[in-house]
Amino acid sequence: MKNLPVEIKIVYITAIIVVMLFVVFIIFIVLVYNRKQLLNLKEKQLKESEHQNQLLQKELEKQKSIEQERERISHDMHDDLGAGISALKLQAEFLKQRAENDDLKSDIDEMLKTSEEMNLSMREMLWSLNSGNDTLGSFIDYSKMYAHNFLKKTIIQLSIEDKDIIFETTITTEQRRNLFLCLKEALNNAYKHSESNQLKLSFIQKDKEFMMRISDNGIGIHHEKPEGNGLRNMKRRMKEQNGHCEVTTENGTHLFFRIDL
């Protein structure tokens, strides 16, 4: 290098400088391109996020509209149907006071019984429709009240426990309704078929998992008999809610329901 002519040295140095400038230019182009790509990606993500927010907003508006419609139906049922049932009950009681024929009184008693059953069914529907009841606390309180009222005229002694329940925990309307229908079916089966005199109703929460257990000290379920519609319906309801229904028959009948909140 030291023995080369000055002109060649200049050419050589110039070539090195040109190559270095070219490399710097390439790096600059790559950086600009990457920055542009990053900006495009961020812009695309922003647009996608805005689109998702719009979809979420529409879904929230739809849910709000559904809840408002549920509330409207609930109020209409309470005001119209409830008033009609009450009026029917009052008229039947008035007729019973004036009736002298025993058969007629018996028929009126059946009418009063039917109106009371309709009133109870309406209250259950109103409870199901009210989105303000979509908490574990509301479900458990209503279930306790229903179980107590259902069994109070039977020989079955009811005991209730709840463990680690966070009463403000949200539960969907569908989960709440299906769990309650399973409870009704289980209580009805215990009353009609178990021959038990004790029944225990348990509510348990483990983080985002909720469990309901209904146990009696009756004769259990005969495995040689085909599975009844009631048990099939309970299993189907839990499956529809991505939950689980399990039945054991050791020292009575034990129904176990589990859902993810």
Q: Supply the DSSP string of 206-237, one letter for each residue.
A: ETTEEEEEEEE-S----TTSPPPHHHHHHHHH
Give the torsion through C-alpha atoms of 151, 155, 161, 167, to 10 deg. 10
Note whether residue 122 is domain-resident. no
The answer for residues whose C-beta is within 8 angstroms of residue 108's C-beta and 6 or more apart is: 92, 95, 96, 99
> What's the number of domains the chain is made of?
1
Pairing of strands 254-260, 209-216: antiparallel
**Mean pLDDT across 98-117:** 81
Note whether residue 146 is domain-resident. yes
Note whether residue 24 is domain-resident. no
Burial class (CB in 10 A: 0-12, 13-18, 19+), 176: buried
**Mean pLDDT across 182-200:** 92
pLDDT exceeds cutoff 80 at 142: yes
Contact 200, 256 (CB under 8 A): no
Domain range for 237 is: 134-260
pLDDT exceeds cutoff 80 at 81: no
Q: Determine the distance from the C-alpha atom of residue 58 to the mean position of all C-alpha atoms in its chain, rounded to a whole number.
A: 21
Note whether residue 141 is domain-resident. yes
For residue 223, what is the domain's CATH number?
A: 3.30.565.10
Ranges 28-42, 45-59, 89-103, 183-197: which has the least confidence: 89-103
Note whether residue 151 is domain-resident. yes
pLDDT exceeds cutoff 80 at 129: no
pLDDT exceeds cutoff 60 at 226: no
Higher pLDDT, 144 or 8: 144
| φ and ψ of 226, to 5 deg | -65, 150
Confidence band (pLDDT; 50, 70, 90) for 178?
A: very high
Note whether residue 189 is domain-resident. yes
Note whether residue 112 is domain-resident. no
Higher pLDDT, 153 or 3: 153
Residue 20's pLDDT is what? Answer: 85
